[in-house]
Amino acid sequence: MSEQTEDLRETVRRRYAAAAVQVTEGGSACCGPAAIEVDENFGSTLYAADERGQLPAEAVAASLGCGNPTAVADLHEGECVLDLGCGGGIDVLLSARRVGPTGKAYGLDMTEEMLTLALANQKKAGAANVQFLKGTIEAIPLPANTIDVVISNCVINLSTDKPAVFTEMHRVLTPGGRIGISDVVADDTLTPEQRAARGDHVSCIAGALSFTEYRRGLEAVGFTDIGITPTHSVSDGMHSVIVRATKPATMATGTDSCCGVTACCTDAERAADPNSTAAEAKSAPGCGCN
């Protein structure tokens, strides 16, 4: 990992750690540059009043996103859901209610302070079908083919390695699994420099992909039925969007990505995870590679 990448990740971690502390001490936070400011483009106002009323006040106050992925993920009883960058747990707790006691909702976050807040909110909500995990969205600490739905709320744009995030989402999803994500995306006409001029990385602007870049990134790892739908503007040429896509129910031999293996079943196959071998990746439960 480059020094610049490490610095950006640490900046993001510190920003959200500070937001968690502010909420714990009685403040509120958003995804903007000011730690306790909330505006109409980010935060809990994007959730319906009845949804906010179901949750601990601290979970609502810690909402940092640009949308409401649980409203578009079409969750069903008994499903297993993973929230990338779960923060204080608002989307995890809402998902847990929708999948019911026979389902499960995981929340993944790299920030210790946010996880502490999320665990406190889980206890207050009495959610038994919830588990919070510490880790990064570029290396999800779950086995392949175990998650029915991946959700995320304005977090993927913060990653400095989005291809790794897309690969990991595809890996952990069951065949036929799907994503329902809220994120910030730029018009195709905006250069990276123009995006950065509209806001910094930690405010969810500078690191955003364009519409075409996002679609191609998902296609590259094997997602199909991709839809990227704008919901509202967050800056000039920058949009909050809903991203939907599906992992195919079956994977053809030789496709680019299969169970965490690139160029599956060819002489060039290798594990997408550099710490794993192709044989280990293909031995994961439910893998269709031979």
Give pLDDT tens digits along the chain (290 positions). 566 677 777 777 777 667 766 777 764 444 433 334 445 555 555 555 566 556 555 665 555 556 677 777 889 999 999 999 988 888 899 999 999 999 999 999 998 988 998 998 899 989 999 999 999 999 999 999 999 999 998 899 999 999 999 999 999 999 999 999 999 999 999 999 999 999 888 877 889 999 999 999 999 999 999 999 999 998 999 999 999 999 999 755 444 455 667 666 555 567 777 677 877 777 665 565 54
CA angle 53–55–59, rounded 5-degree value: 120
DSSP per-residue string spanning 45-95: GGS-HHHHHTS-HHHHHT---SS-GGGTS---TT-EEEEES-TTSHHHHHH
Strands 270-271 and 261-262, how do they pair?
A: antiparallel
Dist CA 236 CA 270 (whole Å): 41
The pair of three-digit structure tokens given for residue 82, joined into one six-digit string: 């993973």
- Cα–Cα dist 80/68, whole Å: 18
**Residue 177: predicted pLDDT:** 97
Buried b (16+ CB within 10 A) or exposed e, 18-49: bbbbbbbeeebbbbbeebeebeebbbbebbee
pLDDT of residue 181: 94
Runs of H (alpha helix) within the chain: 3-24, 49-53, 57-61, 90-99, 112-125, 162-172, 192-198, 211-220, 278-282
Q: Work out the number of other CB atoms within 10 angstroms of the CB of residue 133.
A: 15
Q: According to the model, what pLDDT value does residue 7 have?
A: 74
- State the sign of the Cα–Cα–Cα–Cα dihedral 89, 123, 132, 54: negative
Mutual angle of helices 162-172 and 211-220, in 10-degree steps: 50
For residue 108, CA distances in Å to 8, 139, 200 come to: 19, 10, 24
Per-residue confidence (pLDDT) for residue 279, from 0 to 100:
77
pLDDT of residue 73: 83
Neighbouring C-beta atoms of residue 85, cutoff 10 Å: 26
pLDDT at position 243 is 96
Of 17, 177, 153, 166, whose CA–CA distance to 91 is shortest?
153
Burial grade of 71 (CB within 10 A; 0-12, 13-18, 19 or more): middle
pTM for this prediction? 0.77
CB-based contact 137:83 (threshold 8 Å): no
- Residue 22 has which token pair? 């502010």
Q: What is the Cα–Cα distance from 236 to 283, expressed in whole angstroms?
A: 47
